[in-house]
Amino acid sequence: MNNNRRVRVRFAPSPTGPLHMGGMRTALYNYFFAKQHGGDFILRIEDTDSNRFVPGAEEYIIRSLAWCGITPDEGIDENGKVVETKSEKHPHAPYRQSQRKPLYRQYAEELVKNGFAYYAFDTPEEIDARRKECEAKGETFVYGHANRLSFRTSLNMDAEECKKRLEEENHWTIRFKNPENRVVKMNDLIRGEIEINTATLDDKVLWKAADQLPTYHLANIVDDHLMEVSHVIRGEEWLPSLPLHYMLYEAFGWQDTQPEFAHLSLLLKPDGKGKLSKRDGDRLGFPVFPLEWVSATGEISRGYREDGYYPEAFVNLIALLGWNPGTEQEIFSLEELVKCFSLDRVVKSGARFNPDNAKWFNQEYLRQKSNKELCEQFLPILSKKGIENPNAEWVEKIISSVRDRAHFVSDFWELTHFFFERPTEYDATSIKKFWKDEILPLVNEISEMIAGIEPFQKENIEEQIHTFITEKGAPMGKIMNALRLAIVGASKGPGVADIIALIGVDEFNVRISNALSTINR
Ligand code: GLU
């Protein structure tokens, strides 16, 4: 690496749908790397394939980055819009490739002129027919050095005809002319040295007259060059394109400023068998997208944000999918990730995603929040349940009694609803087990004693229940379970004394008398 070079990386998504966790990880690793080196993180939208364009995807990608706390240095403005006009801060605008359309053709033509590419005039139908012919023989179709002279190209027609066709036809393309038998030596910052023989490669299309647009390969190389990108960090699905990209840099004579490459391994299904997909998420009940996404047909894909994940937890868990710090540390803030991240600790093999582990991360971040913060986050949920303006201090105490058992703020309702609503039904199994004839007189008696406790506080209640039961020589477990059933309606919740103190003496009395009069054995 040229050490004097400013680190400039880009995240270059194609707006073909919502950003998958894997794409988010690519963005994060680029960001960590750029910030660690005091460099720039550029957002570039690669939208040259109009067939795959999905409305809303670009905004979704930008909102997802923002949710994770990532602001690109170049490419989007303060309002989160892709920059279209050059300025000091955004010198390479526009950052949407479709808006850079006029600039690519000259580069493709330059390659033709210098013998690295050629014009190809076959129609898509003709190529398709050739493909089918091959497949019928059980062969794989490659448009390359072995058969390129059997097509209609500038390589095998005179200049006059070629010129005429270029003017009159509109389906021609410019294809890269792969060397017949050359070993391309490449370097990947994660995988090391890689060698590929060009013999099996096809002559990729670089530019198409039909829509006057470059393909991904040409646009990507030209833009990385013009935008002075120093490092390309992207998914391993692009590794097979690396020889072509190397050869393109060479053909343009841009080797000296060619970026370094790092290809990230796939995110794998929880069982490790194959690439993690949205279907795995649906099947096993976890999101694969940062934010909820509603497709054009109205299909909703769940998002980490809507599932109650904190963005810090999401960033942390994604960062550790395929990278390890080399220590036992698991909890990392964004700032710490920027400090600790390094490409040489990114694994070469796929990273298996474990949904339980994801929940664990959120729990860790929830534990870092104060009761006050958690209360603020819980109040909207309470409001949806019809609990308006509860006393915040009281809610904080309730949260404090259950917070250790929650992974998400949304778990709080299930863990605490009985504080806010009296039981109207009682769990049948608990009734059978705990609501026994021989215990009920004691429940009655202990309840009267509790109702008289002053001050009506947890420690007092706990202590006096204990004294009462010890003095009577009564079965502690059975009485406590019966009391719990009466005030909660089931065998759940934090300590009985906690619940009693928090609901207060009046509510306690109502619940006990309701239970004694309504529970049918
Ligand atoms: N547009 C490509 C994608 O969406 C980017 C590949 C690259 O980073 O070179 O995956």
Q: Whose CA is nearest to atom 5 of ligand 1?
A: 12
Same domain membership, residue 255 and residue 118: yes
Spans of the chain below 50 pLDDT: 1
Q: What is the whole-number distance in angstroms between the Cα of residue 26 and the centre of ligand 1?
A: 10
Same domain membership, residue 482 and residue 395: no
Domain with residue 233: its CATH number is: 3.90.800.10
> What are the phi and psi torsion angles at 416 (to 5°)?
-130, 0
Q: What is the whole-number distance in angstroms between the Cα of residue 232 and the centre of ligand 1?
A: 10
Q: Which residues line ligand 1 (CB under 6 A)?
A: 12-14, 46, 220, 232, 234, 238
68's tokens = 């994770």
Q: Which is the closest atom of ligand 1 to the Cα of 14?
A: 4
Same domain membership, residue 477 and residue 374: no
Is residue 329 a part of any domain in this protein?
no
Burial class of residue 104, CB neighbours in 10 A (0-12, 13-18, 19+): buried
Q: Domain range holding 107?
A: 99-264
Is residue 432 a part of any domain in this protein?
yes
Is residue 88 a part of any domain in this protein?
no
Same domain membership, residue 245 and residue 104: yes
Cα 344–Cα 348–Cα 349 angle in degrees, nearest 5:
145
Q: Whose CA is nearest to atom 10 of ligand 1?
A: 13
Domain with residue 471: its CATH number is: 1.10.10.350
Is residue 112 a part of any domain in this protein?
yes
Same domain membership, residue 374 and residue 243: no
Q: Which is the closest atom of ligand 1 to the Cα of 232?
A: 8
Q: Which is the closest atom of ligand 1 to the Cα of 220?
A: 9
Q: Whose CA is nearest to atom 3 of ligand 1?
A: 13
Question: Whole-angstrom Cα distance, residue 122 to residue 127?
Answer: 7
Domain with residue 392: its CATH number is: 1.10.8
- Confidence (pLDDT) at 474: 87
Total domains, the chain = 3
Is residue 295 a part of any domain in this protein?
no
Is residue 106 a part of any domain in this protein?
yes
- Confidence (pLDDT) at 50: 87
Mutation pick for ligand 1 pocket among 234, 237, 266, 267 (CB with most ligand atoms within 8 Å): 234
- Confidence (pLDDT) at 167: 97
Same domain membership, residue 488 and residue 408: no
- Confidence (pLDDT) at 3: 63
Same domain membership, residue 238 and residue 387: no
Same domain membership, residue 443 and residue 389: no
Give the pTM.
0.93
Same domain membership, residue 479 and residue 399: no
- The pairing of beta strand 351-352 with beta strand 267-268: parallel
- Confidence (pLDDT) at 521: 62
Would you name the residues annotated as active-site residues? 278
User: Last residue of a domain, which of 264, 285, 320?
Assistant: 264
- Confidence (pLDDT) at 2: 53
Say how far residue 388 (Cα) sits from the centre of its chain: 34
Same domain membership, residue 248 and residue 119: yes
Which SS3 state, helix, strand or coil, does residue 173 take?
strand
**DSSP secondary structure code for residue 418 in this structure:** H
Q: What is the whole-number distance in angstroms between the Cα of residue 381 and the centre of ligand 1?
A: 39
Is residue 77 a part of any domain in this protein?
no
Mutation pick for ligand 1 pocket among 26, 46, 53 (CB with most ligand atoms within 8 Å): 46
CB atoms within 10 A of CB 229: 24
Same domain membership, residue 391 and residue 244: no
Same domain membership, residue 246 and residue 159: yes
Is residue 124 a part of any domain in this protein?
yes
Q: What is the whole-number distance in angstroms between the Cα of residue 162 and the centre of ligand 1?
A: 33
**DSSP string across 321-374:** SSB--SSS-----HHHHHHH--GGGB-SS-EE--HHHHHHHHHHHHHTS-HHHH
